[in-house]
């Protein structure tokens, strides 16, 4: 039997006051979600109210949420809840593509898209990014990637656009990419892990056929949880029913998030709908922040002006400091932590990403002052 088990209880998060990690900023629970977590925490509590199809539970109103609210919110004909964006992408690829098919994806693609494709036995042709400093992915690049895949005699059965990508926060013109994909007769899946729940995403207006979102990344939900929306045409295949088990969708293994996570997503939903409408304020906030960082010698990469709270910075001055600082390349992590700030990976100085999403003015001020302080105090001590 395992021993010394006390170490697994009473574990604390021990975080700094302000967490700049882009993958955490959109997942902070609302007070309503926190209450749902306490109420519905046990096992898979929602199943007490199920009569065979989880998405059809009427009380609590899971059916209204999954069959009415989410489709309207996403602009998709059919939506289901998944274990996360990656699981949604795999489900769509596994259902729609044939083993050994090809998919085309943007060069800034999240690693989980690659894993989903590998798990489904698919090959990937990437649309290269322009590299430093813009890391831009072009719409025409999709057409060229389709052509390259055909040169391999590949059957291309899906395209993916990471919207925005998780490194630079770049937003490619999704509608234009969709148009190229449709010219080639290929459906476009939008990976909206960093957009669904942050900014307005309406799949039908963007002409995208499939969209995935992440509850833990951007919908103030306790993970793992995500959403998967599809147009009628592709939903038929993705959400096909079992030939032997009544009302059970094969690709979801019957049902997915059968616990508290779903109730947190529902409880946060009114707040999420509201915050999506306030998106431009977040963009303005990010732009102002980036300008001030620039004045400290820390330069924004990716789309400029930027259109998202996820930002990638290049800081030759911090890198220079790291070469002589006592703590070496860990100085930035430690200096920020001393000032109540975390979320930039330990050891990074020359380039790093962060997010200003939902930070208050005071918090932004605190972060900027911290960077100012760090840049200047080290310059001074260097000179001394």
Which residues, 162 to 221, sit near a copy of itself by CB under 8 A? 216-217, 220-221
Q: Does 144 bind a copy of itself (CB under 8 A)?
A: no
**Residues 62 and 259: beta-carbon distance below 8 Å:** no
Q: Does 60 bind a copy of itself (CB under 8 A)?
A: yes
Count of residues in contact with a copy of itself, rule CB under 8 A: 93
Whole-number minimum distance, CB 379 to a copy of itself, in Å? Answer: 30
Stretch that binds a copy of itself, among 29-37, 134-142, 163-171, 360-368 (CB under 8 A): 29-37
Q: Would you say 195 or 256 has its CB closer to a copy of itself? A: 256
Q: Does 24 bind a copy of itself (CB under 8 A)?
A: yes
Beta-ladder partners of 126: 105
Phi, psi of 59 (to 5 degrees): -140, 110
What distance in Å separates the CA atoms of residue 315 and residue 45, rounded to the nearest whole number?
48
Whole-number minimum distance, CB 357 to a copy of itself, in Å? Answer: 12
Map tokens 């942050």 to a residue.
198
Q: List the one residue out of 340, 292, 344, 350 whose CA is nearest residue 318.
A: 350
Which of 48, 278, 284, 365 forms a contact with a copy of itself (CB under 8 A)? 48
Q: Does 328 bind a copy of itself (CB under 8 A)?
A: no
Q: Does 227 bind a copy of itself (CB under 8 A)?
A: no
**Residues 6 or more apart in contact with residue 224 via CB below 8 angstroms:** 83, 84, 87, 215, 216, 257, 261
Q: Would you say 180 or 257 has its CB closer to a copy of itself? A: 257
Which of 17, 56, 58, 72 forms a contact with a copy of itself (CB under 8 A)? 72
Stretch that binds a copy of itself, among 3-11, 185-193, 295-303, 349-357 (CB under 8 A): 3-11
Q: Would you say 133 or 223 has its CB closer to a copy of itself? A: 223
Q: Would you say 56 or 304 has its CB closer to a copy of itself? A: 56
Q: Would you say 86 or 285 has its CB closer to a copy of itself? A: 86
Q: Does 294 bind a copy of itself (CB under 8 A)?
A: no
DSSP assignment letter at 313: E
Residues 86-105 that bind a copy of itself (CB under 8 A): 86-87, 90, 94, 99
**Residues 6 or more apart in contact with residue 164 via CB below 8 angstroms:** 170, 171, 194, 195, 307, 308, 310
What distance in Å separates the CA atoms of residue 356 and residue 312, rounded to the nearest whole number?
12
Stretch that binds a copy of itself, among 56-64, 174-182, 331-339, 353-361 (CB under 8 A): 56-64
**Residues 286 and 356: beta-carbon distance below 8 Å:** yes
Residues 331-370 that bind a copy of itself (CB under 8 A): 342-343, 345
Q: List the one residue out of 187, 165, 176, 170 whose CA is nearest residue 133.
A: 170
Q: Would you say 1 or 384 has its CB closer to a copy of itself? A: 1
Give DSSP secondary structure letters for 297-311. Answer: T-EE-SSSS--SSEE
Host H or E run for residue 103? strand 102-106
Which string of x and - marks every residue 269-288 that binds a copy of itself (by CB under 8 A)? xx--x---x-----------
**Residues 57 and 49: beta-carbon distance below 8 Å:** yes
Q: Does 253 bind a copy of itself (CB under 8 A)?
A: yes
What distance in Å separates the CA atoms of residue 194 and residue 26, rounded to the nearest whole number?
8
**Residues 6 or more apart in contact with residue 339 via CB below 8 angstroms:** 366, 370, 373, 374
Residues 103-142 that bind a copy of itself (CB under 8 A): 111-112, 114-116, 118-119
Whole-number minimum distance, CB 289 to a copy of itself, in Å? Answer: 21
How many CA within 13 A on the CB side of residue 330?
Answer: 5
């Amino acid at each position: 039997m395992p021993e010394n088990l006390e170490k697994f209880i009473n574990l604390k998060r021990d975080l700094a006051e302000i967490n700049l990690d882009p993958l955490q900023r959109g997942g902070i629970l609302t007070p309503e979600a926190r209450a749902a977590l306490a109420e519905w925490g046990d096992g898979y509590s929602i199943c007490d109210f199920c009569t065979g199809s989880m998405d059809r539970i009427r009380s609590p109103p899971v059916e209204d949420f999954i069959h009415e609210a989410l489709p309207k919110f996403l602009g998709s004909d059919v939506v289901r809840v998944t274990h996360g964006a990656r699981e949604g992408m795999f489900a769509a690829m596994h259902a729609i593509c044939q083993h050994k098919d090809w998919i085309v994806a943007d060069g800034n693609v999240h690693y989980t898209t690659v894993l989903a494709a590998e798990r489904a036995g698919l090959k990937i042709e990437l649309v290269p990014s322009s590299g430093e400093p813009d890391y831009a992915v072009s719409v025409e690049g999709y057409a060229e990637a389709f052509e390259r895949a055909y040169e391999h005699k590949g059957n291309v059965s899906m395209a993916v656009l990471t919207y925005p990508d998780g490194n630079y926060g770049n937003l490619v013109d999704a509608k234009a990419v969709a148009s190229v994909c449709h010219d080639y007769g290929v459906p476009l899946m939008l990976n909206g892990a960093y957009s669904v729940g942050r900014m307005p995403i309406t799949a039908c207006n963007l002409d995208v056929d499939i969209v995935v979102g992440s509850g833990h990344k951007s919908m103030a939900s306790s993970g793992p949880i995500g959403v998967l929306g599809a147009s009628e045409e592709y939903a038929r295949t993705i959400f096909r029913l079992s030939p032997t088990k009544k009302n059970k969708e094969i690709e979801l293994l019957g049902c997915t998030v059968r616990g508290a996570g779903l109730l947190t997503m529902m409880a946060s939903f009114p707040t999420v709908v509201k915050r999506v409408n306030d998106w431009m304020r977040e963009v303005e906030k990010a732009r102002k922040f980036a300008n001030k960082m620039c004045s400290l010698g820390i330069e924004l990469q990716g789309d400029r002006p930027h259109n998202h709270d996820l930002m990638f910075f290049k800081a030759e001055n911090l890198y220079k400091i790291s070469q002589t600082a006592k703590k070496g390349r860990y100085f930035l992590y430690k200096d920020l932590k001393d000032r109540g700030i975390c979320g930039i990976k330990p050891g990074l100085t020359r380039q790093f990403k962060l997010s200003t999403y939902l930070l208050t003015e005071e918090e932004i001020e605190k972060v900027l002052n911290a960077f100012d302080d760090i840049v200047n105090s080290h310059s001074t001590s260097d000179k001394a």
